[in-house]
Amino acid sequence: MRLLHTSDWHIGRTFHGYSTLDAVRAVLGVIPGIVREHTVDVVVVAGDVYDLTNPSAHAVTVLQETLVGILDAGAKVVLTSGNHDSAVRLGFAGPFAAAAGLHLRTDAADIGMPTEIADEHGVVDFYGIPYLQPELVRHLSWVPNDARSQHEVIEAAMRVVRGSVAERKAKGRRSVVVAHTFVAGAESESSDSERAITKAPLVAGGVDAVPVNVFDGVDYAALGHIHGRAELAENVRYSGAVLHYSFSEAGKPRGGWLVDLAEAGVARTEWIDFPVPRPLKEIRGAFAELLVDPQWDPYTDHYVRAVYTDTNKQLEPLQQLRRRFPFCAEVVNDPGERPADSTSTYAERVKGKTDPQVVESFLIDVRNGEGPDATETEILDDVIAESAAEAQLG
């Protein structure tokens, strides 16, 4: 049996205010062709199918088009829900969709009851482990009453899975787990689009880390949640997101894993690249140079993160840069040199100063050490004098 392991489609997500619907439609639209070209039997989607628990009508349409295309190409689909999905909304059609080959594994209560798909060697059992919020699943019989972490609930879920695998063990029977969680060892492939990672405790996207050996006992674990591809073991992998959803992901491959399951388990894996509709690029330099330097000409159609190194902040830099880079998504002022940070309070810094000195101090603070020039000083003196005169009259 040949699987195509994907995850984190995030249909409906925006990128710095830009819609990604057309881009994700284009990327997901290549999957039916991959199914045909590589004779894929099952497409696996390991959670975060949508980006919002209440997706827009356009996002639902994109998912519908994608799933119909995959089924028409001859593959079945096994899909679970992630922390961005509503498990109930995503899985509502499960009972009758399975008849068409679409298996929606979003109900935590059904973790021990696999979807069976057969090949020439026998049956492959697909176990879906949706994103498990500990406080929302503690009512289930297999979850410890005091479970508070992702580690605890995933460990409990895998005990159920291993028990089922042992009961169903037979010649040629194999098992695949499709899970949406954060497994330790994948933090180097995480990004700011999953929210912050902390080291103590180790957390990514609000999810604490699960040891990789929790997935012992199954033939393949198809993971989702981390946005970069990662191989944690030969049979435990992340495919990553299908689009770049932050500049920290720029340049990282997007795609999925082809996984061949022979009679004894994983026989072969191969990475399949997906297209990148609009690449990401960070450009850096003096602001005036970013506006005209020909070295940046190849990136006018990219999503751009512009870092300008001027001492002074620019007025409306994003609007100026978008005249050259229509998809400029982020602008950052990062001067090469900064004044030493002061530990004094604002009250201490302005104590005993005249109004012109207070304004000068403010400008030095916000302009990285550069105070007003002669023209600005003249304007400030006039404004302060006028304000003082109005105060006396009033």
Domain definitions of the chain by residue range: 2-273, 280-333, 346-393
Radius of gyration, CA atoms only, the chain: 27
d(CA 356, CA 205): 47
pLDDT at site 115: 96
| CA angle centred on 113, ends 109 and 119, rounded to 5° | 150
**Residue 354 burial by CB count (10 A; 0-12/13-18/19+): exposed, middle or buried?**
exposed
Residues 53-87: tens digit of each pLDDT = 999 999 999 999 999 999 999 999 999 999 999 99
pLDDT at site 200: 44
C-alpha distances (whole Å) from 146 to each of 61, 135, 142, 200, 354 are 40, 9, 12, 21, 62
d(CA 80, CA 48): 8
d(CA 211, CA 182): 9
| CA angle centred on 79, ends 76 and 81, rounded to 5° | 170
Per-residue pLDDT, averaged over 190-202, amounts to 48
- 2-273: CATH architecture: 4-Layer Sandwich (3.60)
Name the band, by pLDDT with cuts 50, 70 and 90, for residue 349. Answer: low
- Backbone angle region of 14, left / alpha / beta, with phi > 0 → left and psi within -120 to 50 → alpha: beta
Helix 21-28, helix 57-73: angle, nearest 10: 10
pLDDT at site 196: 43
Residues ≥6 apart with Cβ < 8 Å to 220? 3, 174, 175, 176, 177, 235, 236, 259, 261, 265, 266
Model confidence, pTM = 0.81
Name the band, by pLDDT with cuts 50, 70 and 90, for residue 186. Answer: low
Name the band, by pLDDT with cuts 50, 70 and 90, for residue 357. Answer: confident
DSSP state, residue 309: -
Residues 248-266: tens digit of each pLDDT = 899 899 999 999 999 999 9
Residues ≥6 apart with Cβ < 8 Å to 335? 309, 310, 311, 368
Smallest Cα–Cα separation from 239: which of 48, 87, 103?
48
Query: What are 281-287's contacts with CB under 8 Å, separation 24+?
Result: 281/250, 281/305, 282/247, 282/250, 282/306, 282/307, 283/307, 284/308, 284/309, 284/334, 285/309, 286/310, 287/314, 287/317
d(CA 34, CA 69): 11
**Residue 107 burial by CB count (10 A; 0-12/13-18/19+): exposed, middle or buried?**
middle
At 102, which amino acid appears? L
